[in-house]
Amino acid sequence: MLPALGTIASQQDAPTEQTLETVIQLLNYAASNQDPIIRFHASEMQLLIESDASYLSEAKARSRVAGFHYLSTHPSDLPANTDPPNNGPISIPCKIIRNVLASAAEAELAGLFINSQEAIPERYTLEELGHEQKATPIVTDNATATGIANDNIKQRQSKSMEMRFFCIWDHVRRGIFMVYHKPGRTNQADYCTKHHSRKHHYRVRPHYFHTERSNRFLPLAVDDDEPRIEPGSNPDPDLPTESGVRVCSVPHASASARAPISTAPVANPPVSEH
């Protein structure tokens, strides 16, 4: 819902009929998902971050960044080539960058910077609660942004990037953060950087919310030809629509929640006696 709300908010100064349809679609999505559950597991309380960005994905040539912050076991305490156990998120930053960025690498570097800003007070809070923090790992799927943060590449064209984004480079040198590369298909922050189809929402929902089929180690990337359908949801691709907007319905929802949302004015509404 965060990407949808951000896009709608950016259009509120000049709304169109497409904006209205987007609002109706968001309200239908909320009405069809009334009881989301996030499950948290006991962990070593080490802050972990997955960062991602989508380049030129918003209006006016802007980009969006997002993060997935959760508590788990630090990678240094695990065997080699072992990923930390997944856990429920404590924070999901999702923002549209006002600057027009020059490359995907700059967008990914902006994602590292924004997620590090959000993580500083989280680290202080955890330390005040008695959970000493090691260097916070930040995962990104862009090799250039990883090289800039770790000072492993020689800067040429990257010198023209926004100066404040290089703050992450200083944080890495001071041992506050640890930036490393990981393939994008497993990046949990990718879901919040783009607008997805209904099919994709059904497929990844068990990964982000607790359902009958949720698994703590459920892989994020699956075959597109085998969509995952949420238990209790309507698997019929020909869902009822209104004004071209799909209405997601679930059997356990109330009749008012399942009904499409109408924007037509009501003439002479009945007066309630209660």
Instruction: Calculate the CA 108 to chain-centre distance.
Output: 14
Query: For 125-141, how does the pLDDT look when each residue is reduced to its tens digit (9 = 90+)?
Result: 999 999 999 999 999 99
> Model-level pTM greater than 0.85?
no
* 124 vs 83, higher pLDDT: 124
Domain ranges of the chain: 2-35+195-258, 46-189
CATH superfamily of 46-189: Ribonuclease H-like superfamily/Ribonuclease H (3.30.420.10)
- What gap in Å lies between CA 26 and CA 21, rounded to an integer? 9
For 126-271, list the strands marked E by DSSP: 136-140, 177-181, 241-242, 245-246
Positive/negative CA dihedral, 137, 139, 143, 146: negative
Contacts 24+ apart (CB under 8 A), 248-255: 248/28, 248/29, 248/32, 248/33, 248/198, 249/32, 250/32, 250/33, 253/31, 253/32, 253/34
- What gap in Å lies between CA 264 and CA 257, rounded to an integer? 17
From the list 84, 92, 107, 103, the residue with the least C-alpha distance to 208 is 92
Query: For 38-96, how does the pLDDT look when each residue is reduced to its tens digit (9 = 90+)?
Result: 889 999 999 999 999 999 888 888 899 999 999 999 999 998 888 899 899 999 999 99
- What gap in Å lies between CA 235 and CA 186, rounded to an integer? 25
